[in-house]
Structures are given as structure tokens and as C-alpha cells.
Amino acid sequence: MPKVLISDKLSPRAEKIFRDRGIDVDVKTGLDKEELIKIIGDYDGLAVRSATKATAEVIDAATNLKVIGRAGIGVDNIDIPAASAKGIVVMNTPFGNSITTAEHAIAMMFAIARKIPQANETTHQGKWLKSAYMGVELTGKTLGIIGCGNIGSIVANRAQGLKMKVMAFDPFLTPERAVEIGVSKVELDELFAKADFISLHTPLTDKTRHIIDGDALGKMKKGVYIINCARGGLIVESALKLALESGHVAGAALDVFEKEPATENDLFGMENLVATPHLGASTEEAQENVALQVAEQMAEYLLTGAVTNALNMPSVTAEEGPILKPYIELVEKLGLFGGQIAETGINEIRIEYEGAVAELNTKPLTAAAIVGVLKPSLQEINMVSAPTLAKDRGIVVSETKRTQQGVYESYVRITLVTQRQERSVAGTIFSDGKSRLIQVKGINVEAEFGDHILYVENDDKPGFIGKLGTLMGDQDINIATFNLGRSAAGGQAVALVEVDGDIDSAFLAQVRALPQVVVAKALKF
């Protein structure tokens, strides 16, 4: 029975979801790092919010951990590279608090436009400073959204309801999607130059860190308002302070800061700054939603292998699983075949999907192919860690998809580019649901993947098969299947001989000594 640790405060209904699915669960909140390291090895899953820090040290101690689930969007508290290297899936719940965060951004925009917090404070003090808090309308103003994904698009929709004009900068926003949600897709400098209000909704990456710096602020309209309910590291706070002091930026509303908890900050106390303590996701509805979602996702993965909202592995729905399963087995075996016959270091892995398989979700298939290719040299590898391990080794991975070209309804070919050569293998799924090898090095040859296969490259000359058969008989090696292929009469040939047990190095040496043999290898599946 899988076992899950809930280490941050979640809705009690999350615990119930685990138990109802037959998963053992412990709730232990407020653990320090040493306490977490001491017990984490007992668990298959870890459910967290933002308090628990799943550092590399914690992950190293997590000997049985298979999945970390973050109830929320941000995963700054999880060392994803360390988890990926260890084959641990990291999931979040990107949609559970989207509306809540978007609403907070709109609320912050109203707050700075109408100076609501400042007016509230002085009114409570008994001061009636009506003329001191002249605001601006939102109607007719231009809102520039940086990052127009799920939350950004909701903000755009709400702003349009306020009769604002909306423009967006997002490298991943397609022109078609921009039209669909009613925003103008622009470059960043144009957004800076034209926006009356700028709202940030992008993740924090190397490319987006400090996207709002002194230069960016200088390109903005005088009197611009800035809202950040995304990540603190997007803004250079010292530059923003200068812009607020000079009046170039009329007001800023920040829910996030470079260092959190932000108990001290140079921006605090500024009259034209509205600050909240990372409340973007802080509604009862959002916290309930993300808790239930993370429990459902983790339970589904632990029980069925379905992957949803993973940050380091392609998602596979429960419906896709049975369809993809035979193809995952096929591509991993093709990769394992290629990885075992490659003679030098691998520089590139090319994967071609043709026919019906090209219409499927191929990302998990590509991950499985990498697993197969690298498994001969890296025994501890899975579909989570494979892409990271390939990247760390400088291996370029590419996919190509096309419609059916030949007789096979589905066809997959993996080509390994090494320092000195290229080696390709191709396969398909037959009607019996079993994987078949159908081509090696461009030579057609049909074979099942047995547990033990003698692979031979040889010159196509008379007498070879008899000599090989005699040698195997002399060594008391039983042949299960014998499959042959050749490029042309008298040209290159391959032999795939399935045997009943391990093939030892002494026998391989004898095979390699046969006059026609170029390559002989013992393959295991």
C-alpha cells in the first residue's frame, strides 16, 4: 500500500481522498529539516504547500519517494532538478487558485487607482481627506499583461469587463489565442510604451528574473501603475523605489517580494505603494480546490501511473494510459536495442513517429525511448530522470512526426548519432499488441524482443548460418527464434537469434572469430 506524508496544512478532505483510495497517509506539519529527513524515507508521496522545503538534501534521503505534490502553483520550495535526477515526479495544481489570484490582481489595480488603502487608513484616524486621494478611472485605460497564460488570460477577461483595452506580451501566446481572448499581442517594449497599467503574470525563470529593471521602467509611460501578484524576483525593487519616488511610476501594488516573508523592505512606508503578504491564493475556495486537486493527482499517479500537471514529466491521463502503454514498451525496447548496439558515445537521439502513433501524446514515448537508450550505461533511470540525464550529458533529443507512409499503421524509428556512426532501429505494434522489431540499420528484419538475443552483423556470404548454428550447438545453446535480414545479395546482413539464457563473453569471442562476422553482441531485454 502506498504511503503519503502531508507535511503542510491542507484541507482535511485531502487526507480523506487518500484514505478512500486505499492510500496510507500521515499528517505531520511543522517539521524542521532534520525531522523531515529522518522520516521521509518511509513515504512514497509528499504533499506540501509552501512551508515545507523539499531541498536536495531532503530528496536525497527520500529513498522510496515517487511523487511530490504542491497544493498551489509556485514550486520555489522544491528542488526540481534534484527530484528529476532521482526519478521523482513533481506536480502542482496550476488551475486551483487561478481565479483567486486573478481577482486579487484586479483588486490591487483598483486599490492603487483609487488609493483605497491610504484613504481607509486616514478615515479610520478620523481625518476626512477627500481632496487628497484623487484617483483615476480604469475605463478606457490600457492594461499591459506580461505573461498571458491561465491567470493572465483571466485577468484580461476581467479587465475587458471593466472596458479596458488589453495588450499582452508572452512568447508562447499564439496569434490565434490572442484573438480568441481578445488581447493585442505585442512585444515588450511596445507594452512598456503604451500601457497605463502593467500586471505581471509570468513564472520566475532565468529569462524573466528582473524583467522590470531600471531600463524597463525608463521605457514606461510617466504615471504608469504596476501590479505584481506573480513572483517577487520579477522586479528590481531598488529601481522601482526610485521610480515611485520620482513619480515616473504613479503607484505600485505588490503581493510578492524578492525575499519572503517580507518583514522588512525598503519599499515599505511609501505613500504610493500598496502591499499585501502574498495573498494571491488566499481564499477559502482556492485552498480547498488545490488541496483536493493535489490529493487526487497524487493518488492517481501512485495507483495507476497517470500523470497530471507534472513539471518534470509529460502528463499522461488515465484514459491515455492504456493506449500509450504498448507504445511505451515498444520505444523503450527500441531504445534499449539501439543503446546496446551503439559503439561510441551518443551525441544525438532522433525519434520518428509515423502513422497512428504520431497522433498520440508522444512526449512520454520520447521519455521512454531515452530511458531505453541510456539504461545500458545508467541502470538507475526512469521516464522522469531520463530527459535531465540526457541533457546533462549533452545529448540532443529530437522528434519528427508524419502521416503513414508505408504498410505499417504505426511506425517508430530511433536513430542514434554517435561520434563515428549512426545506428537506427525501427519497430511497430502488431495486432496481437506485441512489439516487433522491423528494421535495423535500414535492413528489414522482423523479430520479437526476447529476453536474450544474439545480435550479429555479418557479410552476406554462403556458409555463415551453418557455421553459427554449429557453433551454438557445440556450446549447447538452444535457439528460440532465428531472424535474418540483408541489404542486398552479398551485402551487409544482420542476424537476431533469440536464446534461452545468458550469452557469455567466451561464446561471443567465438562468434566474432567467424570469418563473415563484423559485429557480435549479447542483448538483454
Active site residues: 231, 260, 278
- Residue 84 · residue 102 · CB < 8 Å: no
What secondary structure does DSSP assign to 358-394, as a single string? GGS--HHHHHHHHHHHHTTT-SS--TTHHHHHHHHTT
Coil, strand or helix: which one is 179? helix
Q: How far apart are CA 315 and CA 292, in angstroms?
A: 18
Q: How far apart are CA 335 and CA 415, in angstroms?
A: 9
Largest interatomic CA distance in the chain: 107
DSSP state of 486: E
Q: What is the 3-state secondary structure (H, E, C) of 117-133?
A: HHHHHHHHCCCCCHHHC
Amino acid at 454: L
DSSP state of 407: S
In the sheet that holds 443-448, the strands lie side by side as 396-402, 346-355, 410-418, 422-429, 435-440, 443-448
Q: How far apart are CA 422 and CA 349, in angstroms?
A: 10
Phi-psi category of 483—alpha, beta or left, where left has phi over 0 and alpha has psi -120 to 50? beta
CB atoms closer than 10 angstroms to residue 189: 11
In sequence order, the β-bridge partners of residue 481 are 498
Alpha helices (runs of H) in 208-361, residue ranges in sequence order: 214-219, 237-246, 284-304, 320-341
DSSP state of 235: B
Q: Which helix (H) or strand (E) holds 149?
A: none
Q: How far apart are CA 97 and CA 281, in angstroms?
A: 5
Q: How far apart are CA 408 and CA 404, in angstroms?
A: 7
Q: What's the grid cell of residue 283?
A: 481564499
